A and B are shown apart, each in its own frame.
Chain A
């Protein structure tokens, strides 16, 4: 028992040791550390693929197929990362993809495209997607409709509109130049995959290196604080949804290129796939934290999983169960890491 009650501490606390510990835990918790988990998961999946499907999995064509499939949903997921980081959610992405794909492949659009340039198809899809996103954004930011409800409504409306326009028929695309352009490869990499890579890279820069990105974190982290800090929260929110709408338009173009059709059934359940990829990537559903790299891994994991299951002739239902399990495990893992990094 200490006799003396006045204990004088040495003046210098042991900061060096602290620094070392901080360094290690910072590394563990940093983006690199968090993505390690995802990389490991992806590698394990690939191993499973090689073991169960052998050469059919580890084949360049198969890898390119995976990437091509990942590209479309990937572009949507990058946009979704922005919206979720900004504290929102969008359930209408699949429907917007469908509507854009239909609008861009109507006979009228194809006619104009054939008499001018195939780029018309692309612009139409982007314009439709962007407009849908803008409507969502305005409803949510200025109309103060809860995002979940507003985008649920757009989901229904956009799919309905797509059915009306297409008359529930699948529209075949026949535009000179379009197919040729999107079916090409750059140094052996399909154009679709190149587009995804470019979108992901641009998304990363936008989120992490620009004022726009920083404001997205602020708006998602604490909207009231962001408002008082002088950020126009409503305009920013509207912009985020518009950005996602544009991504959906682009995804529609890529889907048209891959399937050579536009259809009201395109993009089914994209909202779930995109949200799942974003969340297992490490973006916080409540907003304020987001990572593009994580999202890309999330998309790759899901697409590879589907591929492995398909190669093994397992049912879609089994895939769904596995997807659910992966989401739960990933989120649990993430929470562990987050706690360890003290954030």
Chain B
């Protein structure tokens, strides 16, 4: 055992810190040994029909550490944590929990042993209140009667701890924003008092300051000896919060237990993707001053969301909308698209004014919206990839209403290859794809459609670094062909790197508008948070 740990240290130059965190015991003979890791996984294999999601994963987590899992979309991260939390049964391999072989047949068994998981795809029950969701499956009760007041009180305390006094414990979860749902999901995981907390891309829908709060909570937990498994595609986060990193590629461990702070980003990307990535963002092409104004929005307002929004996008221009979740960014896009009814203002495409609140009118004018929530607003989960891609451009594949299946598949295939959707194959059902790959499918739908105006809401949420740069390329290509693009993103770096012009939205107002290269990340963050930080 000790030898093994030395091997770790020797190979990876591991920190003494990790040593001190590992539990050290003295056995009967007086020799010092290192306790078994909290969780140890050997040779884990998980097969789905047609796909081997995990084909031999080795992985271990020690008490009190933050262990990051890294890998491309579809590498098997979510599947691994679902196996660990009892949501899936492994086909082969062994899981040791505190040194004992463990079989988590179902999530409840895992929960009882002290494993809590926050899944990538939110697993809350719409229709139930926040408090009910937090304690679902481990309700507080006396002789079968739920203690609702107590549940509410504890829920409020948990939400407080996560910096969200603003979420009422009685509110129906289905009526919360995605970001708030994510917070509820975190509260649920915290309510379990677990020894191991698994978080699958928790930061994907969070704002920078919410991520900071989350990290505060994680540090608190690890100080108490709780282990955290943290999945994210954002390198900066891994550096900040991680102790060790395990990299998965195609369902296998390619590197285990690397020190999170020392290992070079290029090395990690190399391990993940097997290639070297030069520039994430493509070169900007200056937009001609005389380029036509394709999208003109004036004085747009909607109830309870935002007001007085002016936005002009020229042909070939990419405009970025930065702002906090809930600042009104997505509402602006949806209103421009007609999916929400504007109370005031006008939207013009190519000089023609659109009817308010009519998606049909917007679509006919050549507008497309890639919505924020891929699951509820974007995907036909039980249908094939190619059908998801072509659904909004069916007429271009039809002659007299009859569809040309073959053309649909070919064109979709070209896009999925460009976006590196894994596993390949446009006949697969979308439900079986990993989160990032599902996002690519939604995006592909809008890249396929020939739009005049393309509105993209969080286009790269949950997409890995490699594929992200492909997506940026494709967006740039579209702009070069004269499409007017509007991108909403919580990732300030993305907005600044991709857009020509940046608009900052705060509390339903546009507070800044200017060229992207005249403003830097910290200034945007200041603008975004002004009056918000307290």
A interface list, Cβ under 8 A from B: 1-9, 11, 13-14, 18, 21-22, 25-26, 29, 209-212, 214-215, 217-218, 221-222, 224-232, 284, 288-289, 340-343
Q: Are the CB atoms of B360 and A289 closer together than 8 Å?
A: no
Contact A211 B256, CB 8 Å, known A221-B382, A340-B49: no
Q: Are the CB atoms of A225 and B378 closer together than 8 Å?
A: yes
Judged by a CB distance under 8 angstroms, whether B212 is at the interface is no
B interface list, Cβ under 8 A from A: 3-4, 7-8, 11-12, 48-52, 55, 58, 249-257, 274, 337, 339, 359-360, 363, 368-369, 371, 376-383, 387, 390-392, 394-395, 398, 401-403, 405, 423, 427, 429, 431-432, 445
A selection of 25 A-B contacts at a CB cut-off of 8 Å is: A3-B4, A5-B7, A7-B252, A7-B254, A7-B256, A9-B250, A11-B274, A22-B49, A211-B395, A214-B390, A214-B394, A215-B394, A217-B380, A218-B380, A222-B376, A222-B379, A222-B380, A222-B381, A225-B371, A225-B376, A227-B339, A228-B378, A230-B392, A231-B392, A342-B50
Q: Are the CB atoms of A25 and B49 closer together than 8 Å?
A: yes
Out of B256, B382, B429, B445, which one reaches A6, CB within 8 Å?
B256
Out of B48, B58, B359, B423, which one reaches A228, CB within 8 Å?
B359
Out of B49, B251, B380, B398, which one reaches A225, CB within 8 Å?
B380
Out of A13, A284, A289, which one reaches B55, CB within 8 Å?
A13
User: Shortest CB–CB separation between residue B406 and chain A, in angstroms?
Assistant: 12
User: Shortest CB–CB separation between residue B330 and chain A, in angstroms?
Assistant: 12
A221 to B380, CA, bound (A): 5
Q: Are the CB atoms of A229 and B255 closer together than 8 Å?
A: no
A217 to B383, CA, bound (A): 8
Out of A1, A14, A18, which one reaches B50, CB within 8 Å?
A18
Contact A4 B377, CB 8 Å, known A230-B359, A343-B382: no
The DSSP consensus for interface residues of chain B is mixed
A20 to B337, CA, bound (A): 45
Write out the residue numbers on chain B whose beta carbons fall within 8 Å of the beta carbon of A18.
Answer: 50-52, 423
Write out the residue numbers on chain B whose beta carbons fall within 8 Å of the beta carbon of A14.
Answer: 52, 55
With both beta carbons as reference points, the residue of chain B lying nearest to A3 in the complex is identified as: B7
Contact A5 B395, CB 8 Å, known A210-B401, A217-B387: no
Write out the residue numbers on chain A whose beta carbons fall within 8 Å of the beta carbon of B360.
Answer: 230, 232
Most chain-A Cβ atoms within 10 A of its Cβ — which of B256, B368, B380, B431? B380
A231 to B12, CA, bound (A): 55
Write out the residue numbers on chain A whose beta carbons fall within 8 Å of the beta carbon of B49.
Answer: 21-22, 25, 29, 340-342
Q: Are the CB atoms of A4 and B7 closer together than 8 Å?
A: yes
Write out the residue numbers on chain A whose beta carbons fall within 8 Å of the beta carbon of B252.
Answer: 7, 9
Contact A13 B250, CB 8 Å, known A6-B255, A25-B50, A221-B381: yes
With both beta carbons as reference points, the residue of chain B lying nearest to A341 in the complex is identified as: B49
Q: Are the CB atoms of B256 and A5 closer together than 8 Å?
A: yes
Contact A2 B377, CB 8 Å, known A211-B395, A212-B401: no
Write out the residue numbers on chain B whose beta carbons fall within 8 Å of the beta carbon of A13.
Answer: 52, 55, 250-251
A88 to B339, CA, bound (A): 23
With both beta carbons as reference points, the residue of chain A lying nearest to B449 in the complex is identified as: A230
User: Shortest CB–CB separation between residue A99 and chain B, in angstroms?
Assistant: 30
A99 to B363, CA, bound (A): 40
Q: Are the CB atoms of B391 and A226 closer together than 8 Å?
A: yes
Contact A228 B371, CB 8 Å, known A18-B50, A340-B49: yes
Q: Are the CB atoms of B253 and A7 closer together than 8 Å?
A: yes
Q: Are the CB atoms of A224 and B377 closer together than 8 Å?
A: yes
User: Shortest CB–CB separation between residue B257 and chain A, in angstroms?
Assistant: 6
Write out the residue numbers on chain B whose beta carbons fall within 8 Å of the beta carbon of A342.
Answer: 48-50, 429, 432
With both beta carbons as reference points, the residue of chain B lying nearest to A7 in the complex is identified as: B253
Q: Which 4 A-B pairs have the closest CB atoms?
A: A342-B49, A22-B50, A230-B363, A221-B380
Write out the residue numbers on chain B whose beta carbons fall within 8 Å of the beta carbon of A289.
Answer: 382-383
A221 to B418, CA, bound (A): 26
Write out the residue numbers on chain B whose beta carbons fall within 8 Å of the beta carbon of A222.
Answer: 376, 379-381
Out of A9, A210, A214, A224, which one reaches B391, CB within 8 Å?
A214
Q: Are the CB atoms of B431 and A227 closer together than 8 Å?
A: no
Write out the residue numbers on chain A whose beta carbons fall within 8 Å of the beta carbon of B12.
Answer: 5-6
User: Shortest CB–CB separation between residue B404 and chain A, in angstroms?
Assistant: 9
With both beta carbons as reference points, the residue of chain A lying nearest to B12 in the complex is identified as: A5
Out of A1, A26, A232, A288, which one reaches B383, CB within 8 Å?
A288
With both beta carbons as reference points, the residue of chain A lying nearest to B248 in the complex is identified as: A9
Contact A214 B403, CB 8 Å, known A18-B51, A221-B383: yes
A214 to B4, CA, bound (A): 57
Write out the residue numbers on chain A whose beta carbons fall within 8 Å of the beta carbon of B359.
Answer: 227-228, 230
User: Shortest CB–CB separation between residue B246 and chain A, in angstroms?
Assistant: 9
Q: Are the CB atoms of A6 and B11 closer together than 8 Å?
A: yes
A14 to B52, CA, bound (A): 9
Write out the residue numbers on chain B whose beta carbons fall within 8 Å of the beta carbon of A22.
Answer: 49-51
User: Shortest CB–CB separation between residue A87 and chain B, in angstroms?
Assistant: 11
With both beta carbons as reference points, the residue of chain B lying nearest to A232 in the complex is identified as: B360
Write out the residue numbers on chain A whose beta carbons fall within 8 Å of the beta carbon of B253.
Answer: 7, 9
